[in-house]
């Protein structure tokens, strides 16, 4: 319970109050996404599964929650100079969309290996695309240069209190939609989503279990949790393009409060994505399907907490997938 005591001391970048404030602020701009269930997947998993469909969110992913919270909390004079961010895709589109809703410019640094459909989304919402190399260093230095040139407000994709608070609104909805959940499974990349979800969920129900699902080819969160300090990798290799970032220093929630990190290989991720498509009839991107992969994995069945998990929410974080990528992965 050490973690929960820390939670009460509000030592993290966000807390239940900032998350509730975010919810009030962003509610006019986002969807309350539905929760779906499937008899077939319950039967396959032996659990009761509840799918929080952020693939139906505005812009096709949960990212609009944090983005609209950040953008609509800016003072008018600050907002007028616009916003800048760097992102592999869904955050970029969300920033563009939220900026469009507020009527301010969005400068978006995108790594060259981002999926085409996500870049299209940025352009559709009126974001100005600035290319960088794929490395985090290149993304960050390019964004800094834009910031200096324009005076725009930097909205980091995950290492930002406003973002963490916005993403946490998922738990407010989820625990209203399915109040007696015992577990929530969340994809992990930079840690913004899972930090917000965990802070809100454990404030409402301290005994709820939060599991992170991470690709083996970008398993910095699992390693960081194991060693108790932030560990970054020299490279990442996964089809889950939304999960290639590394944990930020504003996300110690993962160390303190997230119960476990389940690591999945590429086949497990692809199989889960296929089940989303064929059984749930949902277009879910690889990053979005990883939570289902976790609950279906042999690894998860060997955990001490497996038998205690009965009613499990899986956050399907987004649905922006190139059909070409989908098909190639399924061959």
Which stretches of the chain bind its own copies, using CB under 8 A? 34, 36, 39, 53, 55-56, 58, 60, 117, 274, 277-278, 280-284, 319, 323, 326-327, 330
How many other β-carbons are positioned within 10 Å of the β-carbon of residue 142? Answer: 20
Q: Which is nearer to its own copies, 60 or 66 (CB)?
A: 60
* Residue 323 beta carbon to its own copies: minimum distance, rounded to whole angstroms: 6
Question: Does an H or E element contain 187, and which?
Answer: strand 183-187
Q: Which is nearer to its own copies, 176 or 278 (CB)?
A: 278
Annotated catalytic residue: which of 38, 73, 88, 165? 88
Annotated catalytic residue: which of 63, 202, 225, 271? 63
Question: How does strand 260-264 pair with strand 153-154?
Answer: unpaired
Residue 314 CA to residue 187 CA, distance in Å, equals 9
* Residue 100 beta carbon to its own copies: minimum distance, rounded to whole angstroms: 12
320, 61 Cβ separation under 8 angstroms: yes
Residue 249 burial by CB count (10 A; 0-12/13-18/19+): exposed, middle or buried? Answer: exposed
Q: Which is nearer to its own copies, 307 or 327 (CB)?
A: 327
Q: Which is nearer to its own copies, 160 or 285 (CB)?
A: 285
* Residue 314 beta carbon to its own copies: minimum distance, rounded to whole angstroms: 16
Alpha helices in 178-208, H assignment, sequence order: 192-204
88 assigned to active site: yes
* Residue 152 beta carbon to its own copies: minimum distance, rounded to whole angstroms: 26
203, 9 Cβ separation under 8 angstroms: no
331 assigned to active site: no
170, 226 Cβ separation under 8 angstroms: no
Catalytic residues: 63, 88
């Amino acid at each position: 319970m050490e973690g929960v005591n820390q939670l009460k001391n509000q030592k993290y970048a966000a807390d239940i109050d900032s998350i509730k404030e975010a919810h009030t602020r962003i509610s006019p701009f986002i969807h309350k996404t539905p929760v779906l269930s499937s008899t077939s997947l319950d039967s396959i998993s032996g659990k009761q599964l509840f799918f929080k469909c952020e693939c139906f969110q505005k812009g096709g992913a949960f990212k609009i929650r944090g983005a609209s919270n950040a953008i609509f909390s800016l003072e008018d004079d600050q907002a007028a100079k616009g916003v800048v961010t760097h992102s592999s895709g869904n955050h970029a589109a969300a920033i563009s969309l939220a900026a469009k809703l507020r009527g301010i410019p969005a400068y978006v640094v995108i790594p060259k290996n981002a999926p085409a459909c996500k870049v299209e989304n940025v352009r559709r919402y009126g974001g100005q695309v600035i290319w960088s190399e794929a490395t985090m260093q290149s993304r960050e230095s390019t964004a800094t240069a834009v910031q200096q040139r324009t005076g725009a407000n930097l909205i980091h994709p995950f290492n930002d209190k406003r973002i963490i608070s916005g993403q946490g609104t998922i738990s407010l909805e989820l625990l209203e939609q399915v109040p007696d959940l015992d577990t929530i499974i969340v994809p992990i990349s930079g840690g913004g989503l899972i930090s917000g979800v965990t802070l809100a969920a454990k404030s409402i129900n301290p005994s709820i279990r939060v599991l992170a699902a991470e690709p083996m080819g970008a398993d910095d969160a699992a390693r960081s949790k194991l060693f108790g300090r932030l560990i970054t990798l020299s490279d990442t290799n996964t089809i889950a393009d939304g999960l290639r970032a590394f944990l930020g220093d504003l996300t110690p929630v993962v160390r303190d409060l997230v119960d476990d990190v389940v690591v999945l290989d590429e086949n497990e991720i692809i199989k889960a994505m296929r089940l989303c498509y064929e059984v749930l009839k949902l277009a879910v991107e690889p990053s979005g399907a990883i939570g289902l992969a976790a609950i279906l994995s042999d690894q998860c069945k060997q955990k001490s907490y497996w038998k205690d998990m009965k009613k499990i929410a899986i956050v399907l974080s987004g649905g922006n997938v190139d059909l070409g990528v989908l098909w190639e992965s399924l061959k």
